[in-house]
């Protein structure tokens, strides 16, 4: 896209504002965000608005983590879920439910520990290089899903509903405070921008990055730690939501080029937009019931990603 950068940012911000207004209004019943009174105002500002903020911050965090993992692994197909983190977080969540039945808090804590564990195991393979690390992630994903199947078989039937809704991505049961999620979004973006020169240099491969003066090992470890922490927060808040981390950075690179001073903020906002739209669709399509948002991000994300792949080739 050959547009001036300022126009591209204007487009992103305009889409963000329109998305927020649209997602506030849409639901079982359309509510005009500029003219809501009484019960409608309660629905708008106490139900839809907080959930929108959760979707925005979680989507942004997932997109940032995806952008970082892709550079770390030198592979634009990498994201937390490809690396088996979704699987390990799910194992943690279900283990939490087994220990403290019916406790969403135990499930969230379990998910957080599981996400950390999953990334720590993948990190142990980081010295083998990007390709093998990605392969290790794919193999580990199979291991975690086998372990998950085992735990689900042992889980009491009464707990299955909660476990499944979390595993498919669910923003309605988030136990993390919204302020913490928004703060994580700001801190993650700030840290990412601090590391953007290293990220840019790593696009040339580790050897070229080192030759340009980057302490590659140190910066890789910092990025892995940051990406892991961000993934753990996002997974804990919303369960397993795939493809946001895969599609959004890819899309933003097509729009803004590859340098991270633009790609990271654009991804943080773009991820938020995508998840706000997906979550609004999830709570509207079969209202008053809800669809799992992870299913929708996959349904939107996979064809979009394949289209982008074809377009690039």
Partner 1 sequence: MSGLIQASNLYLQRGNKQLLSGLSFSIQAGKITVILGPNGAGKSSLLLALAGLIPADGELLLNGANMAGYQRAALAKQVAWQGELPPTEFGLTVKQRLLLARGDNDRDMSPAVSAMEIETLLKRPLAELSSGERQRVELAALMLREVPVWLLDEPTAHLDLKHQAHCLKMMKKQAAAGRAIVTVLHDLQQAVVVADFIIFIDGKGYAESGPADQMLTIDRLSTLFDTPLIGQGKLLVPDYGDGI
Q: Which is nearer to partner 1, 33 or 74 (CB)?
A: 74
- For position 126 contacting partner 1 by CB under 8 A, the verdict is no
* Residue 207 touching partner 1 (CB under 8 A): yes
Write the burial class of residue 29 (CB in 10 Å: 0-12 exposed, 13-18 middle, 19+ buried): exposed
Residue 135 half-sphere exposure toward CB, CA atoms < 13 A: 5
Which residue in the block uniquely carries the two structure tokens 């801190």? 187
> Per CB under 8 A, which of residues 242..301 are in contact with partner 1?
253-254, 257-259
Q: Using CA atoms, how far apart are residues 189 and 3, in angstroms rounded to an integer?
A: 24
Residue 208 has φ and ψ, to the nearest 5°, of: -65, -40
Under rule CB under 8 A, residue 201 binds partner 1: yes
> Per CB under 8 A, which region of 150-158, 163-171, 207-215, 225-233 contacts partner 1?
207-215
Contact segment (CB under 8 A) with partner 1 among 82-90, 151-159, 198-206, 233-241 equals 198-206
Does 308 engage in binding with partner 1 (CB under 8 A)? no
Integer Cα distance of 290 and 303 in angstroms: 22
Subset of 61-90 contacting partner 1 (CB under 8 A): 70-71, 74-76
Least separation in angstroms between residue 306's CB and partner 1 is 17
**Binding-site size, partner 1 (CB under 8 A):** 25
Choice between 169 and 192, CB closer to partner 1: 192
- Residue 165 makes CB contacts below 8 A (sequence gap 6+) with 173, 239, 292
240, 169 in Cβ contact below 8 A? Answer: yes
Token readout for 300 is 């939107």
Letters for 208-247 (x = contact with partner 1 by CB under 8 A, - = none) are x-xxxxxxx-------------------------------
Q: Contact between 129 and partner 1 (CB under 8 A)?
A: no
Nearer to partner 1 among residue 76 and residue 292 (C-beta): 76
The span from the CA of 12 to the CA of 27, in Å, is: 24
Structure tokens at 155: 């889980």
Interface ranges with partner 1 (CB under 8 A)? 70-71, 74-76, 200-201, 203-205, 207-208, 210-216, 253-254, 257-259, 312
């Amino acid at each position: 896209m050959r547009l001036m950068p300022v126009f591209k940012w204007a487009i992103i911000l305009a889409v963000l504002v329109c998305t927020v207004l649209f997602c506030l209004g849409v639901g079982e019943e359309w509510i005009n965000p500029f003219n809501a009174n009484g019960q409608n105002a309660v629905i708008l500002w106490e139900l839809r608005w907080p959930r929108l903020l959760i979707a925005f911050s979680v989507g942004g965090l997932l997109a940032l983590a995806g952008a970082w993992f892709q550079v770390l692994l030198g592979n634009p197909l990498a994201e937390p879920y490809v690396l088996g983190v979704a699987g390990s977080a799910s194992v943690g969540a279900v283990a939490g439910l087994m220990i403290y039945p019916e406790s969403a808090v135990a499930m969230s804590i379990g998910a957080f520990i599981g996400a950390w564990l999953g990334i720590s195991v993948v990190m142990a393979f980081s010295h083998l290089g990007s390709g093998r690390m990605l392969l290790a992630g794919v193999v580990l994903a199979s291991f975690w899903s086998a372990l998950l199947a085992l735990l689900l078989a042992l889980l009491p039937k009464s707990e299955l509903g909660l476990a499944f809704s979390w595993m498919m991505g669910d923003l309605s049961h988030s136990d993390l405070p919204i302020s913490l999620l928004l703060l994580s979004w700001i801190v993650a973006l700030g840290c990412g921008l601090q590391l953007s020169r290293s990220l840019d240099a790593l696009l040339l491969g580790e050897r070229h990055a080192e030759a340009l003066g980057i302490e590659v090992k140190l910066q890789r470890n910092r990025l892995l730690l940051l990406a892991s922490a961000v993934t753990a927060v996002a997974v804990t808040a919303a369960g397993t939501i795939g493809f946001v981390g895969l599609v959004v950075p890819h899309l933003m690179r097509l729009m803004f080029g590859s340098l991270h001073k633009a790609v990271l903020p654009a991804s943080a906002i773009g991820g938020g937009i995508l998840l706000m739209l997906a979550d609004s669709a999830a709570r509207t399509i079969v209202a008053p019931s809800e669809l799992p948002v992870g299913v929708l991000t996959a349904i939107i994300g996979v064809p979009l990603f394949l289209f982008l792949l074809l377009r690039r080739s």
